[in-house]
Structures are given as C-alpha cells and as structure tokens.
A and B are shown apart, each in its own frame.
Chain A
Amino acid sequence: MIVTLLIVVPLLAGIFSLLAKNNTAKGTAIVSTIVTLVVGALIGVEAYTTPLSWSIDWIPTLGTKVSFVADGMSTMLSLLVSIVMLVVYISNLNKKVENEGSFYGLMLLSQAGITGVFLASDALLFYFFWELALIPVYFLCSQWGGENRIKVTFKFFIYTFVGSLMLLAAIIYLATSTPGGSSFAWNDIVRAGSSLPAAEQQWVFWLIFIAFAIKMPIFPFHTWQPDAYETSPTPVTIVLSALMVKMGLFAVLRWLLPVVPAGAEFWSETVIILSVIGIIYASLLAIVQTDLKRLIAYSSIAHMGLMSAVAFANTEVGMHGVMVQMFNHGINITGMWLIVSMVEQRWGTRDMRELGGMASTAPRMAIAMVVIALANIALPLTNGFIGEFMLFNGLFSSEVACGTTYMILAGLGIILGAVYTLNMVQRTAYGDAIATKQGGDLTRNEYIGLAVIIAIIIFLGVYPKPLLEMTSGMVSMMP
C-alpha cells in the first residue's frame, strides 16, 4: 500500500497545481517530492531485503490489475526520481516561470508517470505510465521551450509514440499468448514470452526493443534527442535525460530481456554493435560541439550506449554495473544540466567560444563544475567510477563474440569522453574572463542543489556499498 504513495502523491499534487490558480505550485511540488523521497527511503530500507508489492483488480474483462512491485532496482530508480526532481525544484526556486501552476503541475504529472513505469508490474499499467510520462513532457517542451520548439518537440513526440505503439502491439500479442488468454502480470508475460518459439521471439523482440531504443536512445534512433535536449527548458531537459532515458534502459532489463530471452540472445550482437557505433559517433560529435547543451546531449548518448551494450552482453557483473550506473548517470547528468542552466542564466549564452574565466568570477560554481565533470568521466573516488568499472568488466567477460573488441572500442569512447568533458571545463571555467558580462556566484538555492549532487557523487564514490547491495538481489533474477 505504501508503494502507491510514490505515485499517488505527485499525481494528486500535479492535478492540484494544474487546477489551483495561486502561487502554491512550487511549494506543492517541493513538499510532495519530499514526501515521496521519505516514502522511497522507507521502502528502500524494506526492499533492501524483500520486495514490497501491492495489487488490486482493475479491468476484470481484460484481466489487468493495478499492481506495483518495489524491489531493489525499482526502488533505487524511484529514489533517483525523487532526488533529481527535488534538486530541480530547489534550484529553480528563485526563477520566474511563466504560468507557474501549469508548469509545476505537468512536471509532477510526469514525475508520477516515470515512477509508475519503474514500479508497475502489470504490462498494461506499465504502458499507461509509459505514456503518462510522455504527454506532460510534450506539453512542457512545446510551451516553455526555446527556439523551434514546436517542430522539435513534435518530432520527439512522434518518434517515441511510434515506439510506444509497437510496444502496445507486443503487449497485446504477449497477453493473448498467456495461459489464461488475457493476463498482464509480469510473471505471466515472462512465462508466455519465453515459451514462444525462438522465431517468434525474434520479431516480438523488435516490437518491444524499438520502443525502448528510441527512448534511450540507441543509434540510429537517436536523432530526436540533441534537438529536444537543446530546445527544452532545463528542468525538462533534466527530466528527459536523467530520468526518461533510464525508463528505456530499465524497461530493457525488466520487460525485454526476461520476456524474450531467445530473441534477445539472437539479436544481442546487433544491439551491441549499434550501441558501440553510437558511443563512438556521439563522442566524436560531442568533441566538435560548441553549444554546451548539445555537447552534454551527445555525451549522454555515448554513456547510454555503453550501458545498453553491456545490458545485452549478458554477464552478471555487467548487469549489476548497468543498474548501478543508471543511478549514477542520473545524478551526474543532473549536475551537468544545472551548471549549464546557471551558466546560461548568468552570461546569456551557452556557446563555449564566448565563455571563459568562470573560475575567477564564480569560483564555487567552477569547483562544482569540475567535480561533476570528473564524475562524468568516471574518475576514481567519484560515483561514476565503480559503475563504469563493472560495465567494462562485464563487457570483457562476456561470451558474445568479439566481446574484447567491443570493449576496446567502447573504451575509446571513454577516452574521447575525457577529451570533450575536460575541453568543456577548460573553455568555460578557465581562460580569460568575459569582461563585458559579469555574473555572480551561486545563490543559496543553487548552492543547496549542487551540494546535494556533489555529496551523492562523493559519498557513492567512496562508499558504493548501499547501491551495490540494493541491486545485487536483482542480478540473480535476470535470466
């Protein structure tokens, strides 16, 4: 029962903010997210050992249920949602947003949707939340985005919607293949899917995979992403890149690999090759970007590529690494976006050629940037390190043909990652200060937001045990 609070609280808060016409939106958002954070932490303590679940009949004619399961992985990701959203709300506390009620209302609705995706253990319910997360984001980007927003957002929407519809086809197909003819429970779907003949699994695999690949995004389904990240207002970009892409990866782990194991095995090499191409391609593109947002967008494609490659390499340590890294990447990229939005707000540009000397004008901000950038390239003692280590270990020990080759190629991506990340730090934090434009250092709220991020980065870098233990139970459940 307590699990439902994670979804119901932001959902109600969102509807309240949409309807209320006064200035309570920010407060509602923060309070409700603190509630979900506390609830998430409580569940985390419980789910550390045994998963919590809750279920009730929904549509009897279809055999679908409202059922949630909070196990290690989904609790960790729900916590990520709460932490990230809270940081976003706090650091935006002083910023004026036009039509505040709608903005925060939609943010909360998508927060509910994303959490629901992580917790749902009924395929149809999962699909509902999958869409519920998308629709508010569509409105957020189109309404509050930057230049060209309508076109870019619509492209994003159509891309992901096509993917979702293919997923729907797969869900219908799997549900009708379940023993009772119509059941959506995770167990039944897994049983039905994995007992399909291999040839059928191979095409069902693509129906499901396309939806998740577009969301992650994996090369060549990524073309919506840099534009969408660039155009969206920063809070929404954070939702997209820190949380929604995790939905894709999470869904691969929960709703793809166990459901069609034979299909996944058959196509794993294709997916790994696509992911590795994506890593190299995105890293190379990131190097030549001058716009900070685009740079981080491409770097995100590279990171997600590594995680998806390892997810399909099918090794225990790799799978564990993917789960851990999902959390870490979410934290790190949130930090990056926050810094970018602060830069843009102060100096009015995101173009690295026009920036410089942040260390002298805003030293605290520069330090935060350096720490987050180092975490992003997985330096030891930051949270990125342990996950990345496990990822490479997983790829290396994989039984997939040419696993080592892929590892080396992916490793190249990491070196390139260091190139563009350090280059970015150098060009924005150091060098000559921009004389004409002066911006102050961090405000109190921004300070709190970044401090939370950095504290998590360092804590998990030094002591990753809680994260590792929380997800270790999940690894053994994977096929």
Chain B
Amino acid sequence: MKAIIAATILGIVMMFAGLFVKEKKSVVTIATLLLLVLFGVNIYDISFAENAPQSLFNNLLRVDSYALWFNMMMTGCTFLYVLLLGKHIRQVGNHVAEYFALIFFILCGIYLISTYNNLLMLFIGIEIMSIPQYILAGSDKQNMKSNEASLKYFLMGAFTTGILLMGITLLYGATGTFYITNFTFLQTASLNPLALAGILFILVAFAFKISAAPMHLWTPDVYDGSPAPFTAFMATVVKAGAFVGFLRLFHISFGTLGEHWMLVVAIITAATLLVGNITAVYQQSVKRMLAYSSIAQAGFMLFAVVSVNATAWQGMIIYAIAYSVATIGMFSVLVKMKDYTYDGFNGLAKKQPALAFFTTIFLLSLAGIPLTGGFMAKYFVLTAAVEQGNLMWLVIFALLMAAVSVYYYFRVIMAMYFKTGDAELRAEVTSTDRLLMGITCVIIILLGVVPHLFMGNL
C-alpha cells in the first residue's frame, strides 16, 4: 500500500510548493500533476497486489483487492474533480497550495478508512479525513456563512468523534480487542450489552459522517455555506470514503449480528430518503438542493450497508463512482453560474447549449434514469436489498422517493430548456471546460451501459 505513504508525502510537497511557487495557476498545475502521480501509485498498488489480502503494520491494516480498487477509483474521481474545478478552487482564497495539500491528506485518510483492520486505525483515518474538511469549509474567510459552516461542522464533528471513541471503548470493554476481524466471535445469543451499546454508538457516529437522518442536520448549512468547489469534494469522495468504512465494519465484523442493527439501519435509510427528498423539493437554491440531494443519495447508499452480501459491495463502489462523478460534474456547472437559484438557470440552453446538455446528463444520472451511471448504481444497491430478503418494503419506498427526486432534478432541466431568461455566467466556459465536461458525461454513460468495466474483478 504505497499510496498511503505517497499521499502523505505528496501532501507535504504540495504545502512546500506554496512557499516557492507564487503564481496560483502553476500551483493548480502542480497539484494536478501530483494527483496524477498518486493515481499512478494506486494503479501500481493494484497491479502488484497479491490475490490474498495483505496485512500491513502489525495487522493494523488489511489491504484487500476491494480496498485497492476503491482507492484507485476515488483517487480518479479526485483527479477529475481537480481538473474540472481546479480553476475555481484557486479563486476561493489566497492559500491555494494549502487547499490542495489538505485534499491529499483527506485522500490519505480515505485510504486508511478503506483498509483498516483495527478500530484505532479507523479512528485515525476518520480524523485525518475530517479535520482538513473543517478547514476547507471555512476557507472563504471573508464570508460569514463559510465561517459558520466551518464552526458548525467542527463542533458537531468533534462531538461525534467523541461518540465514536466511546463506541470503540465500549466494544473494547466487551471483547478485549480492537481488531475488527476478531469481533466475529460475537454471537447473537450471548451478546454482551456493552458490545451492543458500542455498536449503536459507532452506528450513530457513522450516520453523522454520511449525513443520514436524523444526524443530517449539519449537512445543508455546511454544504451551503462552504465554498462551492469544496462542497463538491465533501459531498462526494469524502462521503464515499466514510461509507466504505461503515460497510467494512458492519459487514465484516457485525455481519452475523444482523438482527440487532439491521432494522435500525433500515429505519435510518427510510428516514434519510424521506427527509432528503422531501426537503429538497422545497429548496429555491440549486446549491442547497444539491445538499439535500446528497442526503437523499446517502439514503440509497445505505442500502449497501443494510444488505450484507457481495452485491452490496459491488453496489457500493458503483454508487460511489456514479454519484461522485455526476455530483462533481453538477458542481462544475454550478460554480460557473452567477445565480445559484433555479431562476438563475433560466434559458441556459439557448445561451450555452453544450453546457445545458452536459448538465442534463448529470441530472439524469442523479435521478437514476437508465443508460446513466445513476441507474446502474441504484440498480445494484436495490438488488442487494432484494437478495437480502424482507426488505421489499424499503425498496418500493426508495423507488417512490426516487420519483420524488425527479421533481427537483428536472426543475433545473425545465429552467434551462423550457423557460426563457438570461442565465448569467460568473465565469467563462472555455472549450477545455466543455471537453472535460464531455469526458465526464462519457464516463457517466459508460457507467450506465458497461458498469462491469468499473468494478474490476470484484
């Protein structure tokens, strides 16, 4: 797992690059190149990986092919993100190099979360991933909303970290171990109440990180308040990282204890879908709508957690990619707009036909229309739930909620194509932008038509 080391070193290199390179534009170029290097390291890790899972650092990490593939895909998404939004990251504030350094550190945290074999590693991974986010949320220093977002995120996040630690402690008290593969000795019949409380605490902490209802209240304010380019990152790659941590612990360690936590997660899923979708309908700002939509999408990803089987793991990775790519694409359009409300998109199709077309593909994918990645992602996670059995009610409920989601996604399409107006742009749309967005669209369509290409041999 050279990628963990590489991410750390490249993060530090990036920080120092800020000292020597004064021009913001070059900083972005350096960051893009370094990310490409990191992506290469990930590919190196995969191609030289052994078939059997590999234990590292005294068995603190357990690197399996799933984790490697997931890390590579998320690094790829980050690379795409920097390509699409790098120009706008540079406009957020003065400390451009630091922003990119923080992104490298976040990736390092994600690598730990996807490979941990010990709860302490999980804790460290989550902290490494979260703390840079608090900073990024507040990076627009002059803006009160950004400050508010940062403070809110930090306070709530710190509190949840406490809960996570408490859960880990309780679990340790009950079992005497931090190693997640050792928890399998836990039996439903003789389950210690201490362990059960521990599982519940950890569940709450994860639910917070992935913004599942009722622990979602921070999400809209933080996502809305943070600078849009960073919201795009927080809502996608970072969230997917937290999800994989969730999946790992609950499937590997607590998979056999399903009757204790599965119903709770199922109810959390239903609540998340309901809150996310219904509230998104009432939003006037597209950015805030995307914040709620990210809650709603988390509801779908929770299907992968609630169903303990191989399809769920496949579904998780496809969902993470499809959702991340479409959301990053959507944000890359949003940052170009002057007005973040729905009315701000009025008449965009006349003015920028290509941009409007790409936005339509992104939205169709988020809404889960066939031939886009969003459909395949939803298909996999729902199939996992059906295979699990006894969850048909949740599947039907989720599909009804997907129909609700069409309402708010299509409002943007309607504004762009069928309403008249003068959609004002904040930034110019260059042909490079169009090319990159076009590539993003192609990725989305490929995900929808040949999803197995993105799953390796999982």
A168 CB-CB contact with B under 8 Å: yes
Judge whether B406 and A158 touch: CB under 8 Å: yes
Q: A59-B451, A131-B369, A132-B371 are in contact. Are A165 and B382 (CB under 8 A)?
A: no
Judge whether A154 and B410 touch: CB under 8 Å: yes
Judge whether A143 and B452 touch: CB under 8 Å: no
Residue numbers in B under 8 Å from A142 (CB-CB): 414, 417-418
B158 CB-CB contact with A under 8 Å: no
A476 CB-CB contact with B under 8 Å: no
B49 CB-CB contact with A under 8 Å: no
- Shortest Cβ distance from residue B333 to the other chain A in the assembled complex, whole angstroms: 19
- Shortest Cβ distance from residue A410 to the other chain B in the assembled complex, whole angstroms: 33
Hey, what's the 0/1 contact readout for B345-385 against A, CB within 8 Å counting as 1? 00000000000000000001000011100000001001100
Q: A169-B399, A172-B395 are in contact. Are A128 and B406 (CB under 8 A)?
A: no
Q: A127-B370, A157-B406 are in contact. Are A176 and B383 (CB under 8 A)?
A: yes
Query: Most chain-B Cβ atoms within 10 A of its Cβ — which of A131, A162, A165?
Result: A165
Task: Name which residue of chain A comes closest to B452, CB basis.
Answer: A61
Judge whether A150 and B414 touch: CB under 8 Å: yes
A161 CB-CB contact with B under 8 Å: yes
Hey, what's the 0/1 contact readout for A172-190 against B, CB within 8 Å counting as 1? 1101100001100000000
B314 CB-CB contact with A under 8 Å: yes
B389-447 CB contacts (< 8 Å) to partner A: 392, 395-396, 399-400, 402-403, 406-407, 410, 414, 417-419
**Interface of B (DSSP majority class):** helix
Partner of A59 from B410, B417, B450 at Cβ < 8 Å: B450
Task: Name which residue of chain A comes closest to B310, CB basis.
Answer: A61
Residue numbers in A under 8 Å from B369 (CB-CB): 131, 135
A139 CA / B314 CA spacing, docked (Å): 33
A135 CA / B369 CA spacing, docked (Å): 9
Judge whether B396 and A166 touch: CB under 8 Å: yes
B127 CB-CB contact with A under 8 Å: no
A466 CB-CB contact with B under 8 Å: no
Judge whether A128 and B410 touch: CB under 8 Å: no
Residue numbers in A under 8 Å from B383 (CB-CB): 62, 172, 175-176, 182
Residue numbers in A under 8 Å from B414 (CB-CB): 142, 150, 154
Q: A172-B379, A176-B383, A176-B387 are in contact. Are A158 and B403 (CB under 8 A)?
A: yes
B455 CB-CB contact with A under 8 Å: yes
A182 CA / B384 CA spacing, docked (Å): 11
B299-324 CB contacts (< 8 Å) to partner A: 314
B386 CB-CB contact with A under 8 Å: yes
Residue numbers in A under 8 Å from B400 (CB-CB): 162, 165
Query: Most chain-A Cβ atoms within 10 A of its Cβ — which of B400, B402, B418?
Result: B418
A176 CA / B383 CA spacing, docked (Å): 8
Judge whether A165 and B379 touch: CB under 8 Å: no
Task: Name which residue of chain B comes closest to A64, CB basis.
Answer: B379
Residue numbers in A under 8 Å from B407 (CB-CB): 158
Partner of A166 from B387, B399, B417 at Cβ < 8 Å: B399
Partner of A169 from B396, B418, B419 at Cβ < 8 Å: B396
Judge whether B417 and A161 touch: CB under 8 Å: no
Judge whether B452 and A161 touch: CB under 8 Å: no
A175 CA / B383 CA spacing, docked (Å): 9
Residue numbers in B under 8 Å from A135 (CB-CB): 364, 369
Residue numbers in B under 8 Å from A162 (CB-CB): 400, 403
A173 CA / B314 CA spacing, docked (Å): 18
Hey, what's the 0/1 contact readout for A460-472 against B, CB within 8 Å counting as 1? 0000000000000
Q: A61-B314, A61-B455, A128-B370 are in contact. Are A161 and B386 (CB under 8 A)?
A: no
- Shortest Cβ distance from residue A188 to the other chain B in the assembled complex, whole angstroms: 15
Partner of A173 from B364, B392, B410, B418 at Cβ < 8 Å: B392
Judge whether B418 and A150 touch: CB under 8 Å: yes
Residue numbers in A under 8 Å from B364 (CB-CB): 135
Partner of A165 from B386, B403, B418, B451 at Cβ < 8 Å: B403
A165 CA / B382 CA spacing, docked (Å): 12
A176 CA / B387 CA spacing, docked (Å): 6
Residue numbers in B under 8 Å from A165 (CB-CB): 399-400, 402-403
- Shortest Cβ distance from residue B364 to the other chain A in the assembled complex, whole angstroms: 8
Judge whether A59 and B370 touch: CB under 8 Å: no
A168 CA / B395 CA spacing, docked (Å): 10
- Shortest Cβ distance from residue A12 to the other chain B in the assembled complex, whole angstroms: 15
Hey, what's the 0/1 contact readout for A134-155 against B, CB within 8 Å counting as 1? 0100010011000001100010
A176 CA / B388 CA spacing, docked (Å): 10
- Shortest Cβ distance from residue B236 to the other chain A in the assembled complex, whole angstroms: 24
- Shortest Cβ distance from residue A395 to the other chain B in the assembled complex, whole angstroms: 33
Residue numbers in A under 8 Å from B379 (CB-CB): 62, 168, 172
- Shortest Cβ distance from residue B389 to the other chain A in the assembled complex, whole angstroms: 9
Residue numbers in A under 8 Å from B455 (CB-CB): 61
Hey, what's the 0/1 contact readout for A35-78 against B, CB within 8 Å counting as 1? 00000000000000000000000011110000000000000000
Judge whether A168 and B399 touch: CB under 8 Å: yes
Judge whether A131 and B410 touch: CB under 8 Å: no
Task: Name which residue of chain B comes closest to A127, CB basis.
Answer: B370
- Shortest Cβ distance from residue A165 to the other chain B in the assembled complex, whole angstroms: 4
A135 CA / B448 CA spacing, docked (Å): 16
Task: Name which residue of chain B comes closest to A173, CB basis.
Answer: B386
Residue numbers in A under 8 Å from B371 (CB-CB): 128, 131-132
Hey, what's the 0/1 contact readout for B110-142 against A, CB within 8 Å counting as 1? 000000000000000000000000000000000
Q: A143-B417, A165-B402 are in contact. Are A132 and B370 (CB under 8 A)?
A: yes
A169 CA / B303 CA spacing, docked (Å): 14
Partner of B406 from A161, A173, A175 at Cβ < 8 Å: A161
Residue numbers in A under 8 Å from B370 (CB-CB): 127-128, 131-132
Task: Name which residue of chain B comes closest to A182, CB basis.
Answer: B383
Task: Name which residue of chain A comes closest to B457, CB basis.
Answer: A61
Task: Name which residue of chain B comes closest to A150, CB basis.
Answer: B418
Residue numbers in B under 8 Å from A59 (CB-CB): 450-452
A359 CA / B281 CA spacing, docked (Å): 53
- Shortest Cβ distance from residue A337 to the other chain B in the assembled complex, whole angstroms: 23
Hey, what's the 0/1 contact readout for B57-82 against A, CB within 8 Å counting as 1? 00000000000000000000000000
- Shortest Cβ distance from residue A116 to the other chain B in the assembled complex, whole angstroms: 11
- Shortest Cβ distance from residue A179 to the other chain B in the assembled complex, whole angstroms: 14
Q: A127-B370, A150-B414, A162-B403 are in contact. Are A172 and B450 (CB under 8 A)?
A: no
Task: Name which residue of chain A comes closest to B383, CB basis.
Answer: A172
Judge whether A172 and B418 touch: CB under 8 Å: no
Q: A161-B406, A162-B403, A165-B402 are in contact. Are A176 and B314 (CB under 8 A)?
A: no
Residue numbers in B under 8 Å from A166 (CB-CB): 396, 399
Task: Name which residue of chain B comes closest to A138, CB basis.
Answer: B410
Task: Name which residue of chain B comes closest to A135, CB basis.
Answer: B369
Task: Name which residue of chain B comes closest to A142, CB basis.
Answer: B418
Task: Name which residue of chain B comes closest to A61, CB basis.
Answer: B452
A173 CA / B394 CA spacing, docked (Å): 13
Judge whether A172 and B386 touch: CB under 8 Å: yes
- Shortest Cβ distance from residue B205 to the other chain A in the assembled complex, whole angstroms: 31
Judge whether B418 and A143 touch: CB under 8 Å: yes
Task: Name which residue of chain A comes closest to B406, CB basis.
Answer: A161
Residue numbers in A under 8 Å from B410 (CB-CB): 154, 157
Residue numbers in A under 8 Å from B387 (CB-CB): 176, 181
A162 CA / B452 CA spacing, docked (Å): 27
- Shortest Cβ distance from residue B414 to the other chain A in the assembled complex, whole angstroms: 6
Can you list the 8 inter-chain pairs with the closest CB atoms, starting with the nearest? A165-B399, A131-B370, A162-B403, A128-B370, A176-B386, A172-B386, A61-B452, A142-B418
Q: Which residues of A contact B (CB under 8 A)?
A: 59-62, 127-128, 131-132, 135, 139, 142-143, 149-150, 154, 157-158, 161-162, 165-166, 168-169, 172-173, 175-176, 181-182, 207
A-B contact pairs, 13 of them (CB 8 A): A59-B451, A60-B452, A127-B370, A131-B369, A150-B419, A154-B410, A158-B403, A158-B406, A165-B400, A165-B402, A172-B395, A173-B392, A182-B383
Q: Which residues of B contact A (CB under 8 A)?
A: 314, 364, 369-371, 379, 382-383, 386-387, 392, 395-396, 399-400, 402-403, 406-407, 410, 414, 417-419, 450-452, 455
7 A-B pairs besides A157-B406, A182-B383 with CB distance below 8 A are A127-B370, A135-B364, A158-B407, A165-B402, A172-B379, A172-B382, A181-B387
